[in-house]
Structure 1
Amino acid sequence: MVTASVNWRASMASIKQRANGVWRARYRDQNGKEHTKHEKTKRAAQKWLDEQTAAIVTGQWADPGAGRITWDEWVSRWVGMQVWADGTATAAATAVESVPWRLKAIRDVKHGDVQTWVTKESERGLAASTIRTRLNYVQMAFRAAVDNQVISRNPAARVKTPRIRKREATMKILTAEQVNAALEAAGEFRPFVAVCVFAGLRLGEAAGLQVGDVDQHLNKILVRRQVQGTSIPTTKITPPKAGSEREVFVPLELVDILQVSQIGTPDSFLFRTPLGHLFNRNSAGEEWRRIRKAAGLGDDVTLHTLRHTFASNLIASGCDVVTVQRALGHSQPSITLNVYSHLWPSAEDKTRSATSTFMAEVFSPDAPNPGPHQ
C-alpha cells in the first residue's frame, strides 16, 4: 500500500518553481482532473501537496472547488437524491432550512457553527427531541457531502445535544375518565376519536379508513392506507408507513360506534369534514383542540396520546410485545420496546408478584396442613 501511494504521488503530483519565483504545486485526482496551487515557498507548496495527496490515498479527499457551493445549493441537490415519503421530506426540509449558514459555502461551515446552532435552538425553548431530529437530518446532509467528495470532513459529527427526558416522564396516558370526557365532548368527531383510542390508529390512518376496511363479522379493522398532508391542497392518500399495514382486532362496541352500515359503499371514507373534505393534520388537529379544551385536558395531550393510551391498555392487560407491535403497526418489536418498555412490568415486579401469589396460597386458611414433621 505504501509503495502504491508513493508511485501514485510520483506520477500524479509535482512541484516546480516558476520564472517569477513562485512555487507551483499540481496533482491530478482519481478522475484525472488537475488541481494546482501557487505558494511563495517550496515548503508551503509541498505541505499543501502532501495534504491533498494523502487525503486521496486515505479516502478523505474532497474536490477543493466543490465545497464552494452554499449549504442551500448542496441540500437541494442532496434532497433530490432521496426516495422519501412526504412526511419525511417535510421534516428534512424543516431541519435543513432552520440552520443559520444557509448561504455560506459548505466547506466553510465549522463544528462550532453547528454546536452554536444546537445550543441556541435549545435556549429558545425547542424540545430536545425536536432538536435531535433536526440535527440528525443536518448530519445526514453533511455525511452525504463527504461521501460525494464535496467536503472532506463532517462538521456536525460529535455535536452535543440537550438531554431528552425519559419517556416515562413525558408520555401522557389518559385515564378512563379522561377518555370518556373526550368522547362526550367530541360530537360528530366522536367515531374518529374512538378509532384512535380503541384501535390505536395514527391520525392519518384513521383519516384514511373506508367502509370496506371495517369487518363487521370478524370485528376487525384493516389499515390499508393513510392520509398525508397539512391542508386541503396538500392532502394525498398513500400506503401506510413501512410495516404498518395490518389488521386490528376490535370489540363489537367500537364497530357499533363507527356505524359503517349507514355510510355508503365499501370505498366510501368513514370520516369527512363538514365541507366534505378528508381530514388532514390541521383539520383533525383543530377538532382535537376543541375537544381537549371542552374536556379539560392539558395542551400537551395530542391526538397521538390516544394511541399511547391504547398501547398502555394492551400492556396493562398482559399482552406481550409482539402482540402490541402488530396492533400498533410497528415494523419491529424493538421499536415497540423503545417507546413503551417503561410500561411493562420489570423482572423485579414479576418476581415480587409471583412470590406474593405463592405466599398467599401457602398461608391461606384453606391450605392443607402437612402435619408434624416425621
Structure 2
Amino acid sequence: MAKAKLDTSISDSAANTFLKDSADRATLWCEKVTGLHLLKTKTGGSWRYRYTDPRGKRKTATVGRYPAMKPQQAAEKAMGWRNDDVDVLAEKAEKKALAISQEQRAAHRTLKAYLDGPYTRYQSRRSAGDGTLAILRSNFENLLDRDMASLTRADIHTWQADKEKKGRAHATLKRAYGALRTLLKQAIVDGVLDENPLQHVSLEKPLDSERARELRERRESTRRLLTKDELAAFHNGLDAFSEEIRQGRRNSRKHGKPHLPDLDNVAFPHWFIPFAKLSLFTGMRPGDLYSLQWQSELNPTFGRLTKTPEKTKHHGEDKAARVEMDLPPQAMAVVKSWWEQNGKPDSGLVFPSPVTGKRMDKNAHDKPWRRVKRLGGLPDDLTLYALRHHFISSLVAAGVPLFAVAKLAGHKSVAMIESHYGHLCPDAAKDILREFGASVEQREAV
C-alpha cells in the first residue's frame, strides 16, 4: 500500500510567489505542520522548523534549501522531528562534536603523528632508536599520512611491490616491515590503537630468481657514466635555470616589488644549483645533502667533508659507514661561494628551506630538477641519483681501488660496488695495463 502524502499548505507556486514578492527575511508559515516555515534569504529560500526543547526554550533548526527541497519533502522531515520529539539542534551539535572527536583521534593515529611524537620518545631511550626511526621514515613515506587503524593487507602488498620494482632486496623489506609491526604493537601499549590492523598480514614470497634478475639488470642499466653530451646538458641546464630565476627577479623588482633582493649579485640565485653541483662532485645522496650541516660535517675553510650517511645510521655509531673526503677543487669552489653567500654560518643546515629555515622535504628537488632537464635537454627519465651513479662509475672506471670507492660513496664494504659497478672494472684494468706497458717500454728505451 502506497504511503499517503503529508498535507502542507505551502505549494510550489505559493513558495515561488512568496520569494518573488517578499522582502528579505520575510517568513511564510505552513498552516498544517506546526513550526514549519519558509524564510526568504538573499540567495533564495530556506526551510526552517521552530520547536520547543525539553527545557522550554524556543529553537529554530534549518530543514533544507528551497527549491532543492520541495514543500512535501520539507513537511515530511519537519513532521518526523515533531513526532519523534527530537531536539534537532542538540542532536546536530552532538553529531558534530562526535565527528570532530573522531577526526581528531584519527589525526593522532596517523603514522606520522605517532612516529614523530610518542614513538620518537620511546626510541630515544634505545641504543639503535635513531636508526629504527630512519628505517620507518625512509621506507613508509607513502603511508605517513594514513590513520594506522586503517592500514590493510593491500597497503602492505602494494608497498612491497613498489619497493621490489626499485630493486629492494627481500631481506631489506622484511627488516623494514618488522620495524613497522613493532611500532604498531607499541601503539597498542600506548593506547593509541585498540588492535594491530596488520597482525595477520605477512609479506608476499620473494620474487623468483628470473624476475629478480630482470629487475636487477634494469636497475643496473642506470648505474653508468654520464656521456659528455649529458654532462654538457647538465651544466647548460643549470646555467639556463640560473638565468631564468634571475630574469624573473628582475621583472618582479621592476614591476612593483623593488624590496626583493637583487639576484644578479649572488653566486647562486637558487639553492638547487649548488645542491646539484655538490651531488655531481661528491656523489652524495640527496637525503644526505638535505641533512648536511655546516662546520661539523662540511668545513668550507679546509674543504673537508665528513658525513655519516642517513641510511646507515640505524647500524649505530660504531658500525655505520662514514664518508671522509677532501673536496675536489670544483666542489670546493661551490661550497665556498654558497657559504659566503649565506653569511659564513658557523652551524646549521647547508641547504635549509628558504621558507621555514628547517630541513626541506626529501622531494623538494623534484621541481627544479625537472626544469633543469627541460632547459638543458636531458632525458625526462634521468633521476638526480644519476649524478651519484656517475661519481661512483667514474672512480671505478678510473681504476680507483674499490675499497676507496666504497668509503667515498658511504658504503661499509666493497660488496655493493662490486655487484653494481664491477662491469666497469675490466675496461679500467685494460687502460691501466696499457699505460703500465707504455711506461715500461719508455724506461727500457732509455
Residues 138 and 127 (structure 1), Cα distance of their counterparts in 2 relative to 1, 3 Å cut: closer
What residue in structure 1 maps to residue 303 of structure 2? 219
Contact residue 288 and residue 303 of structure 1 kept, 8 A: yes
Contact residue 281 and residue 331 of structure 2 kept, 8 A: yes
**CA-based RMSD:** 4.9
Q: Aligned with 1:248: secondary structure? A: strand
CA-CA distance at 1:203 after TM superposition: 0.9
CA-CA distance at 1:87 after TM superposition: 4.6
- The alignment-based identity, stated in percent, is 20
CA-CA distance at 1:242 after TM superposition: 6.3
What residue in structure 2 maps to residue 350 of structure 1? 429
Alignment length (residue pairs): 256
Deviations, residues 247-267 of structure 1 (Å, cap 9, x unaligned):
222123322222223423211
Q: Aligned with 1:282: secondary structure? A: coil
Out of 268, 272, 281, the residue aligned to residue 198 of structure 1 is 281
Supply the distance in 2 between the matched residues of 1:241 and 1:290 (Cα, whole angstroms): 41
* Match status 1:267 vs 2:322: no
Q: Aligned with 2:363: secondary structure? A: helix
Residues 316 and 165 (structure 1), Cα distance of their counterparts in 2 relative to 1, 3 Å cut: same
* Match status 1:137 vs 2:137: no
Out of 273, 293, 300, the residue aligned to residue 210 of structure 1 is 293
CA-CA distance at 1:135 after TM superposition: 8.7
Contact residue 138 and residue 156 of structure 1 kept, 8 A: no
What residue in structure 2 maps to residue 247 of structure 1? 324
What residue in structure 1 maps to residue 366 of structure 2? 285
Which letter maps to 2:355? L
* Match status 1:174 vs 2:226: yes
Supply the distance in 2 between the matched residues of 1:357 and 1:304 (Cα, whole angstroms): 34
Deviations, residues 321-356 of structure 1 (Å, cap 9, x unaligned):
11111111112221222232222226xx73686369
Contact residue 244 and residue 328 of structure 1 kept, 8 A: no
CA-CA distance at 1:181 after TM superposition: 2.6
Supply the distance in 1 between the matched residues of 2:168 and 2:301 (Cα, whole angstroms): 45
Deviations, residues 14-69 of structure 1 (Å, cap 9, x unaligned):
xxxxxxxxxxxxxxxxxxxxxxxxxxxxxxxxxxxxxxxxxxxxxxxxxxxxxxxx
Which letter maps to 2:422? S
Residues 156 and 218 (structure 1), Cα distance of their counterparts in 2 relative to 1, 3 Å cut: same
Residues 344 and 251 (structure 1), Cα distance of their counterparts in 2 relative to 1, 3 Å cut: same
What residue in structure 1 maps to residue 208 of structure 2? 160
Which letter maps to 2:208? K
Q: Aligned with 2:346: secondary structure? A: coil
What residue in structure 2 maps to residue 108 of structure 1? none
CA-CA distance at 1:131 after TM superposition: 7.3
Residues 215 and 101 (structure 1), Cα distance of their counterparts in 2 relative to 1, 3 Å cut: closer
Supply the distance in 1 between the matched residues of 2:367 and 2:318 (Cα, whole angstroms): 23
CA-CA distance at 1:226 after TM superposition: 5.5
Q: Aligned with 2:221: secondary structure? A: helix
Supply the distance in 1 between the matched residues of 2:375 and 2:412 (Cα, whole angstroms): 36
Structure 1 unmatched runs, 5+: 1-79, 103-113, 228-238, 369-374
CA-CA distance at 1:225 after TM superposition: 7.2
* Match status 1:257 vs 2:334: yes
Normalising to structure 1: TM-score of the pair? Answer: 0.53
Normalising to structure 2: TM-score of the pair? Answer: 0.45
Supply the distance in 2 between the matched residues of 1:351 and 1:172 (Cα, whole angstroms): 18
